[in-house]
Amino acid sequence: MTTAPPPEFVKRPTPVRKANRAIDERFGTQAGLRRNLNKVFPDHWSFMIGEIALYSFIVLLLTGIYLTLFFDPSNTEVIYNGSYVPLKGVEMSRAYASTLDISFDTRAGLVFRQIHHWAALVFVGSIVVHLLRVFFTGAYRKPREVNWLIGVGLLVLGILEGFAGYSLPDDLLSGTGLRIAASIAQSIPIIGTWASFMLFNGEFPGANFLPRLYVIHILLVPGILLALIGAHMGILWHQKHTDFPGPGKTEHNVVGHRVFPIFAVKSGGFFMMVFAMLALLGGLAQINPIWMFGPYDPSKVSSASQPDWYIGFLDGSTRLMPPWEFRGLGHTVPAVFWPTAVLPGILFTLLALYPFLEARFTGDTKSHNLLQRPRDTPVRTALGAMSISFYLVLWISGGNDVIAKTFSISLNAMTWAGRIGLIIVPPIAYAVTKKLCIGLQEKDAEIAHHGIETGIIRQLPSGEFVEDHRPKPELVPDHPHVPTDRYALPSANGHDDGHGKGLARRAGKAVSGFFVEEKEPGTPGHDTPAGSEKH
Amino acid sequence: MTETSGTSPDTPPDPAPRAVSTSASADTPAAADLAAAGASADVDAPAGATATVDPPAGTGEATAAGPAVRTRLLRRPSRGRAASARRRRRSSALVLLLGLLSTGVLWSVLAPSGSAAQTSDANEAVRQGRALYAQGCSTCHGLGAQGSNTGPSLIGVGAAAVDFQVSTGRMPLAAPAAQADRKPALYSQTQIDQLAAYIDSLGGGPAVPKVTDTALDDADLSHGGELYRANCAQCHQAVAQGAPLTYGKFAPSLSESTPTQIVEAMRTGPESMPVFGDRQIDEKDAVAVAAYVQHLTKTKSPGGFSLGKYGPVPEGLLGLLVGVGGLLVVCLWIGARQKV
């Protein structure tokens, strides 16, 4: 695997080149390095959403390592004697006491705790937004189904990891969450009691539960997450990134920037931005003030106890579920079983199987490297909107007590609105979205036929009025539905297409780029892609 | 409503005898009702008394009326020698009877409340309070505070309940709803005290607790916190921000509650709240709970902007809207800056 050194090495032996040559002479890395640094990634703002999740995961690891230095996951009861006066002399677990110590008696402990928690919220949130981007553009289609499955696994594990972290400090809120988790385990028919006993090492709250949860939170789940993230990105690297159709872009190439230097610099900068956002949140906004909640005691509960947002939809489904209990054959199936065990099971199974179901129903067995616009696939887009509305009704119902209190609405009215909304809103969302997609397609077809109306009326010397039409846009190869022109209205002079320099203008271009190709027709040499690669 | 609060103390419309009659018939709400309605023309035992006793007593203070009547009665024979002995005997017997009656009743009502000076002030407060009551409260609670279809009876609710309801602005009610909400108080503290004295005079009940700053400073915060979490947090939320109950009722936020109001609410159990009597939570513990609530709501909490102290719901909103949303804007910005 040795390669002849390029002439540059001889000419200017800088320290980097020397080190590179030294490594190459020993490990033969040069060829692989060159190949990978020359890899091309497409440029689109929506391809960076997954990076938010990756970078918040790195922030979670860094802050989490700091927190493990001070946290003591022990159920042992102690009398608190730290700096926070209103809890002095109160009996509590070592876990809660050490979380208080992190918050009040450890240098930078509170800000690390808060960054860690905000990063967890943003981590799961950006996974969900990334998933929506992948779904609505059809990026999961063959050959990328496995990466879709890994992504669903990452989402589920991210939720579990977040819940474990929320439960560790052993405050009143986290204990209430664990109490509910224990109830859910108990509600499983036949094996419920044993499942709960196994999880909690006996009757809730088990004697040695927190150390177990700690191992799950800091070793087991993060280890699996890390491995899956590696697999997710390895497969992405190997299969190459998808891209929106556009001039010069086909099913068999990738157009964009090489990893080094542009993509690397851009991603490095973006990592700094993500870290800055999380640090801002952690420094300015309070999160999970456990000292106000008090230590956990199974006999106590606070009203308006809520889980973190990613569990909220299950809380909502529990609130909406009527109290139907089934008894028979010597067993009881409590009402809580259906919304908390069956429902998420169905939802995540459907999510994981969606690529295969779609391939089955559409009969599409080809490989795809170009993305689809949401309007091109009205049924998929409508199904997605339907699922989002279903999720949102559940999610809003999860906070219905806070909403009822804040806006002075009856809690019972909120519950019934959620029950009825859960049934009628998703079909409406489906119908409206499908109609919208078809309407947009019709608009595309109209433009393809007649060109773009400019809205500029001119009077000819003969007195006749005519409207300026811009020429019919060229069609993108391999993708006849996508016009190559933007629907931007011309500016006042009627000809300037608006190459403004303002941030708003650029942001507008970026947004419209999600839907239609940005390049102007007839200027193919203007923006030559910096690199391209064959699939 | 400022009219009400402005004019009512300036118009003490009731002549003293009616106050006497009210006090005299305090045991029977129906009679009090009649008296409060100004039905002095009705021939009732106390009303007849006022007619007989006439001018001199009318100028005296309500509190002094009873003893004054008796004194005059004793002196009368020596002053009115010119009158016929028969007429004198008859009227003096009547006056004696009524004087003794009103004295006895007044004694039974006022004697337990302390020294003579306090009694005098208290009766003045009762008189003023009754005027305020007739003007601002009687529409719903009835002229004798006996209650009606639109408001509960106030007999026996005590001064603490009046002070709580009126000082938090819940009463007078703005409009009938599932539950009265806190609003700016319509009456001054003096007027509230007068109303409270009047309602207290109808049948006792919990007195307004005295929560001093010293007691608050000395309170055991962590014990108060434990009591709060055991007894209050399940409705008022762990950080005292309140939460909904069923059908539009709610446990209110305690952010604006004063320590006195918190103890009053514990003692009187307004709306859906249970009563926490002093056998369950003694005075010291009640003050400790109030001190803990003050700490939760007034102390600046470490960690930055507290998001309304509602926990994961606003946290999730901020995390998604500002955290994820802000980073999406950064994506757009980076995406817009590059040229392919």
What tens digit of pLDDT does each residue of A9-55 get?
Answer: 555 678 888 888 899 999 988 888 888 888 888 888 899 999 999 99
Instruction: Give the per-residue pLDDT at A254.
Output: 86
* A399 chain-B contacts, CB cut-off 8 A: 313, 316
* B295 chain-A contacts, CB cut-off 8 A: 86
Instruction: Give the per-residue pLDDT at A208.
Output: 83
Q: Per the omega criterion (within 30 degrees of 0), is the bond before A374 cis?
A: no
- For Cα atoms A282, A285, A291, give the angle at the middle one, nearest 5 degrees: 90
- Which residues partner with A332 through β-bridges? A327
For chain A, the 3-state helix, strand and coil shares in percent, each to the nearest 5, are: 60, 10, 30
Test mutation, B322, B327, B333, B338, chain A, max A CBs within 10 A: B327
Contact B327 A114 (CB under 8 A): no
Nearest to A302 among B225, B234, B246 (CB): B234
Q: Does B182 touch chain A (CB under 8 A)?
A: no
* B239 chain-A contacts, CB cut-off 8 A: 289, 292-293
* A114 chain-B contacts, CB cut-off 8 A: 303-304
Q: Which residue has the tokens 């705790």?
A: A113
Band (B183; pLDDT cuts 50, 70, 90): very high
Instruction: Give the per-residue pLDDT at A447.
Output: 75
Please write the tens of the pLDDT for every residue from A408-443: 899 999 999 999 999 999 999 999 999 999 999 998
Instruction: For residue B68, give Cα distances in angstroms to B45, B56, B57, B60.
Output: 19, 9, 7, 8
Determine the residue type at A74. S
Band (A73; pLDDT cuts 50, 70, 90): very high
Q: Which residue of B has its CA nearest to A269?
A: B334
Band (B67; pLDDT cuts 50, 70, 90): very low
Instruction: For residue B95, give Cα distances in angstroms to B22, B68, B74, B88, B102.
Output: 18, 12, 10, 10, 10
Number of Cβ atoms within 10 Å of the Cβ of A405: 23
Instruction: Give the per-residue pLDDT at B44.
Output: 41
What average pLDDT does this structure show over A367-378? 92
Q: Does B88 touch chain A (CB under 8 A)?
A: no
Which pTM value belongs to this model?
Answer: 0.78
Distance CA B288, CA A470 (A): 78
* A309 chain-B contacts, CB cut-off 8 A: 312-313, 315-317, 319-320
Nearest to A126 among B312, B324, B340 (CB): B324
Distance CA B14, CA B36 (A): 9
How close B238 gets to chain A, by Cα (Å)? 5
- Assign residue A251 a region (left: φ > 0; alpha: ψ between -120 and 50; beta: otherwise): alpha
User: Residue B110 contacts by C-beta under 8 Å, 6 or more apart in sequence?
Assistant: B23, B63, B119, B122, B123
Instruction: Give the per-residue pLDDT at A443.
Output: 85
Instruction: Give the per-residue pLDDT at B33.
Output: 43
Instruction: Please provide residue A463's backbone torsions phi and psi, each rounded to the nearest 5 degrees.
Output: 100, -10
Query: Hey, what are B283's tokens?
Result: 């005075």
How close B124 gets to chain A, by Cα (Å)? 41
Contact B310 A402 (CB under 8 A): yes
Q: Which residue has the higher pLDDT, A451 or A289?
A: A289
- Assign residue A419 a region (left: φ > 0; alpha: ψ between -120 and 50; beta: otherwise): alpha
Nearest to B311 among A85, A173, A269 (CB): A173
Contact B238 A256 (CB under 8 A): no
Instruction: For residue A78, give Cα distances in angstroms to A62, A88, A201.
Output: 29, 11, 21
Please determine, for residue A494, whether its predicted confidence score (pLDDT) is greater than 60. Answer: no
Distance CA A371, CA A437 (A): 16
Q: Does B174 touch chain A (CB under 8 A)?
A: no
Determine the residue type at B224. G
For chain B, the farthest-separated pair of C-alpha atoms sits apart, in whole angstroms, at 125
Rounding to the nearest 10 degrees, give the CA dihedral for residues A153, A156, A158, A159. 180
Band (A513; pLDDT cuts 50, 70, 90): very low
Q: Does B316 touch chain A (CB under 8 A)?
A: yes
Q: What stretches of chain B adopt beta strand conformation (E)?
A: 243-244, 250-251
- Do A373 and A515 contact (CB within 8 A), yes or no? yes
Determine the residue type at B2. T
Please write the tens of the pLDDT for every residue from B290-320: 999 999 998 888 888 988 888 899 999 999 9
Contact A507 B312 (CB under 8 A): no
